[in-house]
Amino acid sequence: MKTRPLGSSGPQVSLAGLGCNNFGGRIDLEASRRVVHKALDLGITMFDTADGYGNRGGSERALGEILGPRRKDVVLATKFGVQMDDAGELKGAARSYVPRALEASLKRLKTDWIDLYQIHWPDPKTPIEETLRALDDAVRQGKVRCIGCSNFAAWQLVDAQWTSRHHGLTAFVSCQNEYSLLVRDVERDLVPAMQAYGVGLLPYFPLASGLLSGKYKRGAPVAKGLRFDLMPQFRDRFLTDGNFTTVEALEAFARTRGRTLVEVAFGWLASRPTVASVIAGATRPEQVEENAAAVGRTLAAEDLAELDRITGKA
């Protein structure tokens, strides 16, 4: 498994990352264990979860139970900020809440430190300096190694990085944002900002929530149990005529080159500037194996240019 640095100051991470959002929710502990063990066997070291995954804590608890002594072999990333209680008190990025969220995650994960601690969504009610000071405290205490952000716009990243530099605080080493052949919005402003500040990109939804897996066909019913069946909000967003037209062109591109659509989607992401690790979820060991193999399939310059044309970015 190839590794890359996470930004200019973060740790080395595997090019294929394991998204753990299915643990404690879509799949049970034993199924999660099989997925984790396969990832470890393949040399995947980047494990990404969040306190909100798995019905508020289930994913972290599963990882804490499964990793055991292998904890030291992975770069363990989690997130905070989403609502963790019915009363709406446990959420956000205020300095009073960050330590509480961190301690809860450490307990569920059964670890003394988190390698990458990320704010899950921007908190409009909390100044970024306040959040960064809380995260800087966690780094100085040795409970967090690096910090990152998720779902930040370019201006929010720049504001955060400037604030860190101006006040001598720990700075973000990574951004985790949606990025795929079908969703390329980050290229306009965020990626240039990341390049300027030496920040690494952890793309999520690399298969456009499953549309780039090849499992969905125009006009065909959605099979029971798939993401678009269980989460209609994603189905309504992704299953559009325009997206199907693009996917059909991508499938033809893959066929003519003897590749799968997944290999094209992952190989393309691995070629993009600032991408450190491609975060992909899995419910079965076979999916982990497929994802790990796919990121290693490089694309020639002319292939990348053709993909730009197909996706309307030429």
CB 21 within 8 A of CB 50: yes
Could you give the CA distance from residue 71 to residue 106 in angstroms, rounded to a whole number? Answer: 12
Residue 186 tokens, joined: 């980050």
CA angle 291, 294, 295 (to 5 degrees): 95
Strands (E), the chain: 3-5, 12-14, 16-19, 46-48, 75-80, 114-119, 144-150, 172-178, 200-204, 278-281
Could you give the CA distance from residue 49 to residue 60 in angstroms, rounded to a whole number? Answer: 7
CA angle 110, 9, 78 (to 5 degrees): 30
Could you give the CA distance from residue 186 to residue 130 in angstroms, rounded to a whole number? Answer: 26
- Does 53 qualify as catalytic in the annotation? yes
Distance between alpha carbon 240 and the CA centroid of its chain, in Å? Answer: 24
53, 197, 204, 216: the catalytic one is 53
Known catalytic residues are: 53
